[in-house]
Each structure stands twice: as structure tokens, then as C-alpha cells.
A and B are shown apart, each in its own frame.
Chain A
Amino acid sequence: MNLTLAQSLTQTHDEMPSLREVFDTITLQSGFNTNAVIVAASLLGIAGGIIGAFALLRKRSLTADALSHATLPGITSAFLIASAMGLNARSLPILLLGATISGILGVLCIHLILTYTRLREDAAIGIVLSVFFGIGVVLLSVIQSTATSSAAGLNHFIYGQTAAMLTADAILMGTIVLIAIAIAILAMKEITIVCFNESFARVTGIPAGLIDGLILALIVLVTVSGLQAVGLILIVAMLIIPPAAARFWTDRVRLLIILSALIGALSGFIGASVSALLPRKPAGAVIVLCAGSIFIISMLAAPTRGVIAQLIRHAKLKLQIAIDHTLESKYQYPEHHPRTTFSLRVLLRLKGFTQSLSPSSALSQSGIKRGRRVRRNHMLWEQYLISCADIAPSHVDWSVDQVEHILDDDLITRLENEIRASGLEVQEIQP
């Protein structure tokens, strides 16, 4: 144990920590208490990542938000009841029991509103979340105005106090992680089928209600146990952000859960380390901001699903359409010169479709070939939309090149005949 470092952690300073301090903290060499906090926060990240993935797949992420806000009246009521009974009102198990009960009560209220009224889920969640939180805030002010300073600790449940986590918390988080992993391995099939297609699951005899109850129980478990560390306002971020970020990188449930757990762990680890080095920074918020940064990076940079990749694909498609239309127009009306930008003419020349960079350049051999093909496909496509679109609305937005792949030979022949019958010419493709 390094005494000076342990001391430095208890001091409130805002100077930048030295490289040595940073190294010691992230390699878990800066004292037992700090280690407990970092390990507990990382484990909370893993648990939140796995269970949050289930919530995301079941589209229940906002239910978790309502649940966490609904814990406040439970915490304050438990405090009031315990002090009235002469018990230790600050005992954590009593407060968390209260949190659990009122959290579940909140979810039940959402369920009741959905069953007995015609309100939608978003409205039901909004109502329960705000009303329960309101009750909690009122009770909190009652406690603060009547009780002694012993009530001050309750504020920590709202914003969280990561640094207060002890070895016992790390063990609790570790247990939850083990439970989450065990359930993910054993009941993956059942959870996946209920999340994807509840009605089919029920028809085949998988008890969807039981699976939903299991997912809800896990959400309650991770929310209540993370309340103290991250606070009830931000705890939902530990459930939503890691799986949402992981979704950008994978199309497989199993990998989604693993990545989500890793992102949660990384956020917890970095967040708790930063807060250990800069004690005035609220660790819960820092953990959430780490997760948020990973989310933004994922959203922008992920291949195929990322925003940048999508923009590039979109731009490529637009360019391809511009090229095709120019070639089609030049092929169809060689004496007419469509308006083109310089960059488009450069591209056409580079691809060998035109003979020069001038707007009135004639098509090359390959340009003529491509133009003829585009013309033919467009005509077939138009005919397809005229005669068959009512049975295939999902295909209307497909690109011209796919026409031949969608339509079978028989249909193509029929389309060609219809085009010829309407007095138009069909371009043949030379083999």
C-alpha cells in the first residue's frame, strides 16, 4: 500500500494527476479502497451491459428508466418507516429493500395503465416516472426539514457516490455478473425468441410471461444495486448505452451481449479511475460520459451500420445514379448533351465511358454498352412497376442493376413482350 497515494485520494484537489498516479490507478496499485471502487464499477458495467442488452432487445429500456426513478419514494419511505420504528434508518439493506419494492410497484403501475386504458407505453412510462419521482422528492424534503443531519446521505441515491463503494459492493456486483452470465448462457434461446417474436414463442409453448419476469428481475437487480454508485437518474445509462453502442458493431445476439458487457466494463473502469484521480468529479456522471463517448464513436465509425459508412454508401449510390442517367441519356439521344458537372465528366472519362472531358463528348464503346444496358433495365423496371408493383411493393426502391436478379426469365420475357406490344423498342444485351 502506498500511503501517500492513499492520502492523495482523500484530499480534494483539482490538479492534474501525475503519470505515476494514473499508471498506479489503472493497474490497480493505488490502494485497497480505490481498487474496490474501480473493480465494483467495472463489474457494474458488465452487469449493466449484459442485462441492458436483454432490455434493449425486448424494447424495454425506458421501463428501466421508470423503474430507477420509481425507487426514490421507496428509499425515502423506508427511511421514514425505519426511523419511526427506531431502527437504523441509514442501513443500506433497508433502503434498498424500499427501493426494490417501489421500483417494482412503478413497473406494475405502467402495466396496469397499459392494460386498463388506451394510453400508449411512452405516456404510461412518462406518467409513472415523473409521479413516483415527485413523491420521492416531496418525501425527501419532509425528511430534510424534520430529521437531523442523518438524512443527508439520501441525496447520494439521486446523483450517486461511486467513491463510497466498498469491497462488499464489489462482491455483490460480482455475484450479479455471475447470475447475468449464467442466465445469458442457459436461457439465451428462450430470451431471444421472446424478444424477437413473442406471439410465436407463446404458440410454441415458451412462457413469455416468465421470460419477461426474468428480464425485469434482472433489471431490478442491477438498477437497485447500482443506485448508490451511479445514482437513480443516471443508472439507466448503464443499461441503455452499452448495448446501443454494441449494436452498431454486430448483427448477432451473442456478440451483442459480449460487446455490450465489454463496453460497460470499460466505461465503469475508466469512469471510476478518473474519479479516483480527480475526486471532485462525480464518478457516476463520468462513467456515463465514458459510455456516451464510446457510443458516439460507435455511431460514427462502425462499419456498415455507422453514420459515416452510411453517408459514404449514400454518396456512392447517388454518384452511380448520376453516371447511369448521363450514360442512358447520351446513349438514347447522342445529339443532345445532358447538363453535367465537371467532376462527373472526369469520373466518366476515368471509367472509360466517354472519349473526352467536354460536355458534348461522345460515348466510348464501353459507355455505349453500359448506356444500352441501363436503358433496357429502366424500361423493364418501369414495365414491372406498371404490371406487378401491387404484389411487390417492397421491391419498388431497388436499384436498376438488380432488375435481372429479381425477375425470373419467364417474367422478363413477358415484360419484354408487353413493352414491344406498347410500341416501344427493347434493347437487347449482347452476350
Chain B
Amino acid sequence: MTLLQTQPRSTLDARPEHSADNPLSVHAMTVAYHRKPVLWDVDYDAPPGSLVAIVGPNGAGKSTFIKACLGLIPAAAGTVEFWGKPYKHARADIGYVPQRESVDWDFPVSALDVVCMGLYRKIGWFKPIRKAHKAAAMESLDRMGLADYAHRQIAQLSGGQQQRVFLARALVQNAELYFMDEPFAGVDAATEAAIIEVLRELRSQGKTVIVVHHDLQTVPTYFDHAMLLNMRIVAAGPVSEIFTDENLNKTYGGRLTLLAEASEAVARAQQGQSTK
């Protein structure tokens, strides 16, 4: 019994970059669907108080990585710890924004109902949703600029508004670590601006946000850390260090057309930092 408990700890502790302060520590994670590996031997430590982008081509295992961390998909091997604790004991401090396409938006609930779902765990089994809970949910909707849409059925919202409802639901969870699966996918400019503002606010409160991101050009401006993923980790660390031509080439192989533009964007960001 004690052996079982100490063994994964020791493998994690063997890594120099590992620290129990880190909101997320992943060691040797391997995930496979129908014998085809999707993630292979992934080691990753997320630093506290940072915005982390998970970047990689389609099918690289970005969503799978998030889902495996959260225990939604069984990992074939590996350890996942949050602040040195297993998921079960850290759950209250972890927020989640699933992919927008993963739910049926014709479901008969209002925007406010969806945001309240972020509080269900706090409210507890068999207990009704009280006024205080609804007020908290309203405040969160207001923060995403959706106060006027609270009582709309969710099908009547635009894609960007639906995404903001999901963000509001995550905010009301009041977590310390957030996982967001493609929050910028298919949203309008106003929503993109609103989301990035919230991400920065969360960072300023010392929280960590791990975001699956598909737009290479905005990585240097939006995020401080990045994880380049293509079944295995190609590079992970501060954007200014690892977001290089060579690493992106390795991640995307020959498939990258935006490469030139992205490296230009990095160069600009780095220039901006060095002149400061």
C-alpha cells in the first residue's frame, strides 16, 4: 500500500523542474485510442500564475491532454498531480471550459442556468439553487458582458456569446487552475477581446490558465508559456524561449503555412520586450 503511494511521487520528484507548488504536474502520460497512441510519454509542469498555450496541429492530442489530466479519458500510463495532490483532492480548485461543439446548444436551458452549473458542486446534492447562487452567476455573466442575455435560451445566442457563457460558468467556479479547450475557436472579435481580458485578470490574481489554442499568430501576444505538442512534447517553456522557427517546424512538420508569419510575430514580440 505504502509502496503504491510513494512510487509515483518518487518518479515525479526525480525530475529537476518538478515542484509541489506547481498547479499541474504530468509525468510519463501515455494515452491511446484503439491501440493508436495519441499522447506518448508526456512530461509537463505548469508554472503557477501563468497563461499557458497548448499548440499543435490537428490530431496532435491537445484536447486529449486536457481530458486525460482531468480524468475524463483514462490514461494508459502516467501520473497527474495538482499542487502535489491527486485530482480527487484538488477538484474544488480546478475549472474547466469544454469545447463549445461538445454540447447540444438546443438544450432547454437559459444562459443563467448554464452558468449556475458551475456552482452545483458547491450547492450540494438535493439542495435547490438559491438567490445568492443566481446573483453570483449573474455577476459572472455581467463580467462577460452578457447580463442582458441571462434569460435567453442558449440556442438564441451567437457562437461567441455561447463561448462567453462557458467562460462565465468557469469564472463562477472560482478555481485556481483552469483548463480551456479551444475557447477562441470560431468567436467574433469582441468575444476574443473579452476572453483575453478575463485570462489576464485571472493571471493577475495568481491563477494559472491552460488553453488549447489554434492561432499561432496570437500566441506571443496572449500567452507567457507554451507547450508545443504533437503526440509528444516538442518543447515547453516561456514563449520567448521555445516559440522558435525550429520548434514550430518540428511540431507542424511540413504542414505549416503560417510559419513565416508566426515567427515574424515572435520576432516583433521579442523586439518589444528587449526595448522595454
Contact = CB atoms under 8 A, between A and B. Distances in A.
Contact of A202 (B72, B173, B190): B72
Given A197-B98, A204-B120, A250 B108 contact: yes
A406 B108 CA distance: 25
B121 A392 contact: no
Contact of A192 (B94, B109, B188): B109
Contacts of B110: 251-252
A388 interface: yes
Contacts of B150: none
Q: Classify the interface of chain A: helix, strand, loop or mixed.
A: helix
Contacts of B103: 196-197
A394 B108 contact: no
A84 B68 CA distance: 52
B158 A394 contact: yes
Interface stretch (B22-30, B123-131, B204-212): B123-131
B15 interface: no
Residue of A118, A195, A250 with highest tally of chain B CB at under 10 A: A195
A392 B186 contact: yes
B108 A256 contact: yes
B190 A200 contact: no
- For chain B, the bracket of interface size reads 35 or more
B190 A193 contact: no
Contact of B173 (A187, A193, A204, A395): A204
A253 B113 CA distance: 10
A203 interface: yes
Contact of B91 (A59, A192, A204): A204
25 contacts: A57-B108, A189-B129, A190-B125, A192-B109, A192-B117, A193-B120, A196-B107, A197-B103, A199-B67, A200-B96, A201-B117, A203-B70, A203-B72, A203-B96, A204-B121, A204-B173, A247-B108, A251-B153, A253-B109, A253-B113, A256-B108, A391-B187, A391-B188, A391-B189, A393-B159
Given A196-B109, A204-B117, A406-B188, 8 more contacts: A189-B120, A199-B98, A199-B102, A202-B72, A203-B91, A206-B121, A252-B108, A392-B187
Interface of A: 57, 59, 118, 186-187, 189-190, 192-193, 195-197, 199-206, 247, 250-253, 256, 388, 391-395, 406, 408, 411
